[in-house]
Amino acid sequence: MKLYVTPGSPYARMVRIVVLEKGLESQVEIVGAQTRVTDSPYYAINPSGRVPFLLRDDGIGMEESALICTYLDELNGDPVLRPSGGRDAWEARRLEALARSLLDGLAVWARETARPETERSPRVILHERARAQRMTDLWETAIDGASIHGGLDMGQITLACALDLEGRIPDFGWRSGHPRLDAWFGRIAARPSFRATATRPA
């Protein structure tokens, strides 16, 4: 299989982490894609032009990080990244959605930050900064929830990839006032899969 990525995409990073955590390196080849340019050859492979994109051995392609992560988690019949049923599963999925909501806002903020200064929207940046503040405040409490402290799961991978966008958003200073979240992030960031997929020196 081929996994199309860009080095800076937090969504692609989530899948790269799953590849490493599940030991799938020999089954999944990581391929760099050229996104956001006119006439990229990548558009012939994935017409949406987005990453991550998994091109399976049967020739079928899959978009969406959460879907690809779940597919890879279940590939060899030993899924571990989501509890399988009952209240714990719903709580894990609720927290995953909460982490995804933070990540989606930060991805907009990071994209805006990367534009030339004259093309940035101060309104969008203010909106996303305020959302990130509210949501990291919420996570400072939510991080103590039981299921998030179990084995590594999709919610934790999503949250850690979101928080690590501090490297791309200079004004996203989430650590201040969030000591529990900071301590949790330190443990996750030390995992080999996170270090190996970091876009800046660990």
Ligand X SMILES: N[C@@H](CCC(=O)N[C@@H](CS)C(=O)NCC(=O)O)C(=O)O
Question: C-alpha 171: how far from its chain's center?
Answer: 19
User: Which CB atom, from 31 or from 182, has the smaller least distance to ligand X?
Assistant: 31
d(CA 96, CA 120): 30
Instruction: Verify binding: residue 156, ligand X, rule CB under 6 A.
Output: no
Angstrom distances, CA of residue 65 to CA of 19, 73, 161? 12, 12, 12
Report in angstroms how near the CB of residue 37 gets to ligand X at its nearest.
9
**Binding of ligand X at residue 36 (CB under 6 A)?**
yes
Nearer to ligand X among residue 22 and residue 178 (C-beta): 22
Q: Are 145 and 95 in contact (CB under 8 A)?
A: yes
Enumerate helices (H) and strands (E) in the chain, giving the number of each: 7, 4
Contact between 9 and ligand X per CB under 6 A: yes
Q: Does 11 bind ligand X (CB under 6 A)?
A: yes
Which conformational region is residue 36 in: left (phi greater than 0), alpha (psi within -120 to 50 degrees), or beta? left
Q: How many residues bind ligand X (CB under 6 A)?
A: 11
CB of 196 to ligand X, least distance (A): 19
Q: Which of 5, 19, 20, 35 binds ligand X (CB under 6 A)?
A: 35
**Which of 17, 72, 102, 107 touches ligand X by CB under 6 A?**
107
Contact between 193 and ligand X per CB under 6 A: no
Closest separation between CB of residue 39 and ligand X, Å?
13
Tokens 């979240």, residue located: 181
- Enclosing H/E stretch for 32: strand 29-32
Taking the CA atoms of residue 174, residue 178, residue 184 and residue 187 in that order, the dihedral angle to the nearest 10 degrees is 60
Nearest partner of 103 among 128, 81, 69, judged by Cα? 128
Under rule CB under 6 A, which residues in 45-74 are in contact with ligand X? 49-52, 64-65
Give least dist CB 107 to ligand X, A.
6
Q: List binders of ligand X among 131-150 (CB under 6 A).
A: none
| Site for ligand X, rule CB under 6 A | 9, 11, 35-36, 49-52, 64-65, 107
